[in-house]
Amino acid sequence: MPLEESIRNRIHDYCVRDLPGDIQWHVDKFSFIDDEELRNRLGRAFYSARYAYKLMEATFVQGDEQHPFVKFQIMQYASIYEAVITNLLWRNFKEHPEVLQLQAHKAYKPVNALSSLTNMKYGDEKLFMCVYRNAKTPKNSIPFKDKVDCAVRIGFMNASYSEDIKRTYELRNLAHIETEASKQLDVEIEQSKHAYWRLSPFLEDVEEYLETSNT
C-alpha cells in the first residue's frame, strides 16, 4: 500500500524544493543537441538522477538501502556522458581528423584471387593470402575511454575531469553483479556526487566550444 497522500506530497515537495528547475529546465541544458528526442531523453535522465538523489536524502536511507539509489545515479550520469559525447563526435565532428582516426584500424582481408594457385602451410595449418589494409571501426565497438580522449583532443572536453568521467562509465558497468563481484568494487555516494559535479563544467565547455567554433 502506498503512503498517505499528504506524506507523498511532502516527500515530493522536498525532492523538488532545491532543484534549479523542472524537467524542461534540465532538457534545456542540452540545447546544443539537435535531435529533439535525444535532447528530451537526456533532460529526463538528468532530472531523474537529481530527483533520486533528493529522494535518497529525504528518506535518509543508509547502508545497503542506499546502494540502489547511488547505482541508479551512476547509470544515469554515465549514460548522459556517453550519449552526448557520441552524438557530438558523429554529428558535429564526423569529418574531423581525430574522429576519422578514431574509427580507423588495420585488418587482414582475405584475397581469393590466388587461392586456386597456391597451397601453403605452416606446420599442419593452411595459410591464406591476405592484404593488410585500413578498415572502419563501428562507433559502438570503440571503447568509451577512447571517445573521451578524442573529445579532449578536439577540445570540447577538458582533460581535468576526463578521467573522472571515464571512472563514472566504468562504474556503470558494475550493473552486472558478476563483474561487480569479480572486481570487488562497489559504488558509493561520493562517486555519484562526482559524476554530478563534473556534468555542469562538461556541458558548459561543450556549449562554449560549439559557440566559438561555429560547429
Q: What mean pLDDT comes out for the span 186-205?
A: 90
| Beta-bridge partners for 126 | 121
Query: Looking at per-residue confidence, does 183 or 137 come out higher?
Result: 137
The tens digit of pLDDT for each residue in 27-55 reads: 999 999 999 999 999 999 999 999 999 99
Nine-digit cell at 112? 581469393
pLDDT of residue 119: 73
What pTM was estimated for this model as a whole? Answer: 0.84
Q: What is the pLDDT of residues 104-160, one digit of tens each?
A: 766 667 776 665 566 777 778 777 777 766 767 888 889 999 999 999 999 999 999
pLDDT given for residue 209 in this prediction? 96
Burial class, 40, CB count within 10 angstroms (exposed 0-12 / middle 13-18 / buried 19+)? middle
In angstroms, rounded to a whole number, what is the distance separating the alpha carbons of residues 6 and 16?
Answer: 16
What is the model's pLDDT at position 51? Answer: 97
Q: Residue 106: its pLDDT value, please?
A: 64
Write down the pLDDT at residue 120. Answer: 73
Contact 151, 88 (CB under 8 A): yes
**What is the residue whose three cell numbers read 571512472?**
167
The DSSP-derived string for 37-92 is HHHHHHHHHHHHHHHHHHHHHHHT--GGGGHHHHHHHHHHHHHHHHHHHHHHHHHT
